Amino acid sequence: MTGMEPHYPEAPWHTHGRAIFQPFLVRAESLRLPEGFVPRLVGGRAIGLLGIVEYVAPSPLTYRELVWMPCFVRARRAASGYFVEKMYVDSEASLRGGRELWALPKQIARFEWGEREVRVETEDGARLVLDVALRGPAVRAPNDVATVQDAGDALVRFRGSGRAKVRSAHLRVREARGLEAWSGWGGATRVRGAGAALVDFAITMHPPKRVAT
């Protein structure tokens, strides 16, 4: 890396912050996946996740993130996890690290994060206005997530694990434009009452696992 390139730490990343994830029912026919990626379906639909995340100190990088994962997949009979279709961050270092370590398709976006509303404008022309609300008491619970991406010569699996204070949450897309190309978004419907907020998480992003194909 040259001095002009954004620096990112090697994995693992020990991160802290807050997040909200909202499940969506995704139509199978709206999915466009890499060759050999098979979605997990129930009744012709997958469970997708739309999430917003804010990483704060003492995380190795501090930034905000929007992610759309349209389905859980089994990839070429070798790995499984959520497939990340879109991921936006407001940090060049996070963008570079996400792409180079975990093959995550990160792009740059601008965030305005308020108490009840989050606005996101992305470099590829998408714009979202999200209504957010937290409900009920917080319960400390373990958290674990895995994704799998196609890196051409290999599959790359990301895994994050840790603990968080979890509350019921509401995340609704009030306005959206420029999302037509998102795999799985067309016709997706929000699962009411199923959103979850991680109001104080400590999660380790483990080193990538590469599986040759």
Domains of the chain, earliest start first = 13-212 (2.40.400.10)
Work out the mean pLDDT of the chain and round it to a whole number. Answer: 96
**pLDDT tens per residue across span 128-182:** 999 999 999 999 999 999 999 999 999 999 999 999 999 999 999 999 999 999 9
Q: Name the token pair of 105.
A: 């398709």
Residues ≥6 apart with Cβ < 8 Å to 12: 204, 205, 206, 207
pLDDT band at 6; cut points 50, 70, 90: confident
Note the pTM of the prediction, 2 decimals: 0.96
Using the predicted structure, report yes or no on whether residue 2 has a pLDDT greater than 70.
no
Tell me how far apart the alpha carbons of residues 19 and 51 are, in angstroms, rounded to a whole number: 7
